[in-house]
Homo-oligomer: A and B are copies of this chain.
Amino acid sequence: MHPTRPFVILEVKARDPCTRCDVRHRSVCSSVPDAALGRLAEVAVERVYQKGQTFIVEGDPATDFFNLTGGTVKLFKLLPDGRQQILGFASVGHFLGLAASGTYTFGAEAIETVHLCRFSRPKLRVLLHDFPAFETHLLETACSELATAHEQILMLGRKTAQERVASFLVDWSRRATPCPADHGIQLPMSRAEIADYLGLTIETVSRTFSRFKADKRIQIPSSKDVIILDYPWLAEAAAGAGQRALRAVSNG
A residues neighboring B (CB under 8 Å)? 77, 79-81, 83-85, 87, 98-101, 105-106, 132, 135-136, 138-140, 142-147, 149-154, 156-159, 196, 198-199, 239-242, 245
Return A148 CB to nearest CB of chain B, in Å: 9
Q: Taking A100-B147, A147-B105 as contacts, is the C-beta distance between A83 and B158 under 8 angstroms?
A: yes
Q: Contact at B144–A81, with CB atoms within 8 Å?
A: no
Find chain B residues with CB under 8 A from A136 CB: 135
Contact B154 A153 (CB under 8 A): no
A160 nearest CB neighbor, chain B only: B83
Per CB-CB distance, the 10 closest pairs between chain A and chain B, nearest first, are A157-B199, A79-B240, A156-B156, A100-B144, A149-B149, A142-B142, A81-B242, A100-B143, A85-B157, A85-B154
Residue in B77, B150, B239 whose CB lies within 8 Å of A80: B239
Instruction: List 21 A–B pairs whose Cβ atoms lie within 8 Å, in order of A's numbering.
Output: A77-B150, A79-B154, A79-B159, A80-B242, A81-B240, A85-B154, A85-B157, A85-B158, A87-B153, A99-B147, A100-B144, A100-B147, A101-B144, A105-B147, A132-B132, A132-B135, A139-B139, A142-B146, A153-B153, A157-B199, A158-B199
B-side contacts of A154, CB under 8 Å: 77, 79, 85, 87
Cα–Cα distance between A153 and B132 once the two chains are bound (Å): 31
Q: Which residues of B contact A157 (CB under 8 A)?
A: 85, 156, 196, 198-199
Q: Of B99, B156, B242, which is within 8 A of A153 by CB?
A: B156
**Minimum Cβ distance to chain B for residue A235 (Å):** 12
Given contacts A80-B241, A139-B139, 16 further A-B contacts (CB under 8 A): A77-B150, A77-B151, A79-B154, A79-B158, A79-B159, A79-B241, A81-B240, A83-B158, A98-B146, A106-B150, A135-B135, A138-B139, A146-B149, A152-B153, A153-B153, A157-B198
